[in-house]
């Protein structure tokens, strides 16, 4: 599978997600309402893997983490640590450019209640595996949340017990290093599970790792 491999606009793989997608196409015909493509250079040094598009975020705008709170925190952090330039403005034509980094999701279509099921995660894993395969040797993957972490590990053929998820954890997985963070969702930030400082600490470590510090 090539780095550009991605599901088609009308990907039929997951019946539940197809039905949800068709429902929202009827409700909001101006929205993206399709598998959300990855954002950033095709052969990055850093791949950031989220869970799935938000209903009124990426599912609406067509760009990962664009249009909701999670994107506010993620892109502000990428800008701070030199993984992006420009200005994030919650729309795909804001001119934001990623530098050596690419953003994707473990599941490309929006799931009901933001909760994909196991079969849906598995159906989308080949696309995630393609993204991981395109990361430069010696590069890094940041997994946002346990589901993303587990799918990354499975895509790499790594036993979950050998690389347990934990915020701030780091794992050597073949030619890449996997960094874990709690997901930057509004729920996690509102409840204090994840603070801005905690999130930035992960990307500070990633920056130092990629810079050879």
* Total H helices, total E strands in the chain: 7, 7
Q: What mean pLDDT is reported for the chain?
A: 96
Tell me the CATH number of domain 15-210, given options 3.40.30.10, 3.40.470.10, 3.40.109.10, 3.40.50.300: 3.40.470.10
Distance CA(171)–CA(47), nearest Å, equals: 15
> pLDDT value at position 3?
45
> pLDDT value at position 5?
79
What region does 68 belong to: left with phi over 0, alpha with psi -120 to 50, or beta?
beta
Output the pTM of the full model. 0.96
Tell me the domain boundaries of the chain.
Answer: 15-210
- High-pLDDT (> 90) share of the chain, %: 95
pLDDT over 50 at 4, yes or no? no
């Amino acid at each position: 599978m090539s780095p550009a491999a991605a599901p088609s606009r009308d990907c039929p793989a997951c019946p539940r997600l197809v039905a949800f997608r068709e429902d929202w196409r009827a409700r909001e015909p101006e929205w993206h309402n399709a598998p959300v493509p990855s954002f950033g250079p095709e052969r990055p040094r850093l791949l950031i893997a989220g869970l799935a598009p938000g209903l009124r975020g990426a599912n609406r705008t067509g760009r990962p983490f664009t249009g909701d709170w999670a994107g506010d925190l993620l892109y502000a952090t990428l800008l701070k640590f030199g993984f992006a330039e420009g200005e994030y403005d919650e729309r795909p034509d804001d001119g934001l450019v990623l530098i050596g980094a690419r953003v994707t999701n473990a599941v490309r279509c929006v799931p009901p209640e933001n909760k994909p099921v196991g079969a849906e995660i598995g159906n989308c894993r080949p696309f995630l595996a393609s993204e991981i395969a395109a990361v430069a040797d010696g590069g890094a993957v940041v997994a946002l949340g346990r589901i993303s972490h587990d799918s990354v590990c499975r895509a790499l053929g790594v036993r979950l017990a050998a690389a347990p998820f934990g915020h701030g954890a780091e794992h050597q997985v073949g030619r890449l290093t996997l960094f874990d963070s709690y997901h930057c969702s509004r729920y996690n930030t509102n409840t204090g599970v994840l603070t801005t400082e905690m999130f930035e600490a992960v990307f500070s470590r990633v920056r130092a790792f990629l810079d050879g510090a």
